[in-house]
């Protein structure tokens, strides 16, 4: 999957960049911890869950490293690796509205869900985005600038 720099148009510049939050590793770590406690008493079935937790953790780590949410002066570029490779390139003028949902733990650790509503009525949501309020502030600033051009 190409990074945002590789697909920029002439004179297009990156205004803001973020990615997925490390909280994505929470599920695999909890499963690893719980099954690690069960290994002495349950044996082979618990080791199977340890293997699943490790594989899940590696996939989550790769997803954190390779996913990006980029705002340029012309569009929003989103690349997400997990569960499957997906990418979106949304011109700023096509974004009708954007919203954030941040649960209690998200407020504490600075991650949340970003919901983009497009002018065609479509809605796209992304979970576990790091620094959602920073993303939203830059997005609003750039969409206003794009509409005034």
Question: Cis omega (within 30 of 0) on the bond before 144?
Answer: no
Nearest in space to 108 (alpha carbons), one of 19, 21, 27: 21
* Ordered per-residue pLDDT tens for the chain, 149 residues: 567 777 777 888 999 999 999 999 999 999 988 887 777 777 777 788 889 999 999 999 999 999 999 999 999 999 998 767 889 999 999 999 999 999 999 999 999 999 999 999 999 999 999 999 999 999 999 999 988 87
Nearest in space to 68 (alpha carbons), one of 77, 57, 60, 59: 77
Are residues 71 and 85 in contact, defined by beta-carbon separation less than 8 angstroms? no
* pTM (two decimals): 0.84
The pairing of beta strand 75-80 with beta strand 68-72: antiparallel
């Amino acid at each position: 999957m190409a990074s945002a720099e590789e697909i920029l148009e002439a004179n297009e510049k990156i205004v803001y960049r973020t990615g997925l939050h490390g909280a994505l590793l929470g599920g695999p770590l909890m499963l690893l911890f719980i099954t690690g406690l069960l290994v002495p008493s349950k044996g082979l079935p618990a080791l199977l869950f340890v293997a699943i937790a490790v594989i899940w953790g590696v996939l989550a780590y790769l997803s954190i490293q390779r996913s990006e949410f980029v705002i340029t002066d012309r569009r929003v570029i989103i690349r997400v690796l997990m569960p499957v490779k997906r990418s979106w390139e949304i011109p700023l003028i096509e974004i009708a509205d954007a919203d954030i949902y941040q649960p209690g733990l998200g407020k504490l650790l600075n991650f949340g869900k970003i919901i983009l509503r497009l002018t065609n009525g479509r809605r796209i949501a992304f979970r576990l985005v790091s620094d959602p309020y920073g993303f939203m502030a830059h997005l609003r600033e750039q969409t206003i600038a794009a509409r005034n051009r």
